[in-house]
Structure 1
């Protein structure tokens, strides 16, 4: 993969880790766990195996690009930390600083279908999203949580950069659903606000054009 990733890095925002588990979300899997019948229990040795995969993917990417894992607990367990990135280390080019998130069940339940297991993990993910790429998709029509007011608040809280517009249509674009984003009138605002903008706040210019 390395030659392809390097050659096309100008159109790559982030690369989801994948490789492990159904849907590449690191959960339902016969590998990287000690007991496939209990995929929620991962030993320290298997977390190290997962970190090895993550490390290899980051090595294949240019240093300016990140990879994304499915949950904050995955990052915490692989790196052995519960301290979120800060201004001091967010730009140091380390594996930790280059590991971001994809939430593929945004607003699907109170925990976004297991994206976090505690309020502390949710807060950790929100804190880190100030510095790392954040994106994903919705997967379940779940008003009022999936409706516009909650969507706008949580997209801002987690600093979302990108969103799959094709899934789930009942949440996003199904006009027959009273609380879809298109019915609620927030879809255009969300489109405008995704990602980051560069704003010129002040400038100093010469008062003459150099010939």
Structure 2
């Protein structure tokens, strides 16, 4: 059986993300966490300092943590190496951040590239609403989503603890006149997408489901289990 290595920037497993991507955690999925082998103190040492790019993720316990992308990269590379040694046919990074320094002898699928190119094709002009997991990502998101003739409206809330904020953010984005909303984090769920769409009245792109659909096309597998989250 072909296996795919899913690389989380936190600890594995992440059934919440795979369930949102596919409706279930597929038998061909193998998960590897960048900080699987680190203790709590070592993970805390990865918290971003001034000027470092924050990434929001989850530990095996369900606890949310924020890590610096710059210092996480060696650990994510180690997870990629583990996946390759285990026989993964290709790798998927479970984060919409930009990772250009990972190396592997098999293809690496980066959700960031899929998400940006899809949304740019859908909305080359107009007003784009972007929901991100951390306010410290705002300037980077502005640069990421900049297109001539398109206005950026950003908001932040945690995918893990910020569910109560969704209705407020959806209302604000609707008032700003956005044409499309992007949930720019692999941790946002289908339920959060539904609530955002229902409250805002706007179409919403969910990063993890978009990537999941592409993977299904690549491996010709349809995952149709019911989704409740």
| TM-score of the aligned structures, taking structure 1 as reference length | 0.38
**Structure with higher RCO (Cα < 8 A, 6+ apart):** 2
Instruction: From the CA coordinates, give the structure whose radius of gyration is larger.
Output: 1
